[in-house]
Chains A and B, each alone.
Chain A
């Protein structure tokens, strides 16, 4: 079985500042890892995913994430945020060969002018 912990429920940041949203996971098997974004009253949209290979994954809207197997982490980063990045971000994990995706509780990113 897998589990996901998003370490911050809310992250306020000023526009054009860098941001990191933290995600730790636990699993007894190899995993695929995902970050989704949800804008208010909308569904989730895939930002990026780690399947295998390079541990640095680039996604849409200038986001990237780094898979760290030894620390079981998959933190999301952006070097310079915009007001439009204000949204809720979900980290998710699925065991390779498995079917069920486990979602974290979400981190609300609030970008201030």
Chain B
């Protein structure tokens, strides 16, 4: 089955620690995205990558970092510089073109709680 997996489902972190959230896809999609979801605010784009070894900041990139060394993988690191990291994090992927078929497919999410 093709799809997107995120791990772990729940993650607890102490203040001052960096944590890395995993995202893997086997849809052969070029583009991958990370979103943050807070109640009542919808989805906000953190980072996106259109191709391997390249990525761009989204609307709320401060305190986060990413890498894209493989087409299938797009891990997100939440650093200690992120002032309010408790949130639900969603990874997505799509084909990369400006045409009509690049709707985004989403993973199940990771809920991060800072203790």
Interface residues of A (CB under 8 A from B): 9, 32, 34, 36, 41-46, 49, 51-52, 90, 96-101, 103-106
Given A34-B103, A41-B109, A43-B109: A104 and B50 interface contact (C-beta under 8 Å): no
Q: Could you tell me the distance between the alpha carbons of A99 and B50 in the complex, rounded to whole angstroms?
A: 9
**Cβ contact within 8 Å between A41 and B111:** yes
Contacts of A49 in B (CB 8 A): 103
Bound CA–CA A9/B40 (angstroms)? 8
Complex Cα distance, B99 from A32, in Å, reads: 9
Q: Is B98 a contact partner of A104 (Cβ separation < 8 A)?
A: no
Minimal beta-carbon separation of B11 from chain A (angstroms): 13
Among A9, A44, A46, A103, the most chain B Cβ lie within 10 Å of the Cβ of A44
Q: Is B2 on the interface with A (CB-CB < 8 A)?
A: no
3 closest cross-chain pairs (CB), A and B: A43-B106, A97-B98, A51-B100
Query: Which residues of B lie under 8 Å from residue A51 when comparing CB positions?
Result: 100
Return the chain A residue nearest B41 by Cβ: A105
Q: Contact check, A44 vs B98: say whether CB atoms are below 8 A apart.
A: no
B contact set with A: CB distance below 8 Å: 4, 6, 31, 35, 40-43, 45, 48, 50, 88, 90, 92, 96, 98, 100, 102-109, 111
B50 touches A105 (CB 8 A): no
- Cα distance, A105 to B40, chains bound together (Å): 6
Tell me, in angstroms, the Cα distance from A43 to B31 when the chains sit together.
17
Q: Could you tell me if B90 and A44 are in contact, using CB atoms closer than 8 angstroms?
A: yes
- Which B residue's beta carbon lies closest to that of A9? B40
Is there contact, CB below 8 Å, between A43 and B100? no
**B106 / chain A contacts, CB cutoff of 8 Å:** 36, 43-45
Q: A99-B50, A105-B42 are in contact. Are A46 and B98 (CB under 8 A)?
A: no
A sample of 23 cross-chain residue pairs with beta-carbon separation below 8 angstroms, ordered by A number, consists of: A9-B40, A34-B103, A36-B106, A41-B109, A42-B109, A43-B90, A43-B106, A43-B108, A44-B43, A45-B106, A46-B105, A49-B103, A52-B100, A90-B42, A90-B43, A96-B98, A96-B100, A98-B98, A99-B31, A99-B96, A99-B98, A101-B104, A106-B40
A70 to B111, alpha carbons, bound, how many Å? 40
Q: How far is the CA of A97 from the CA of B106 in the complex (A)?
A: 21
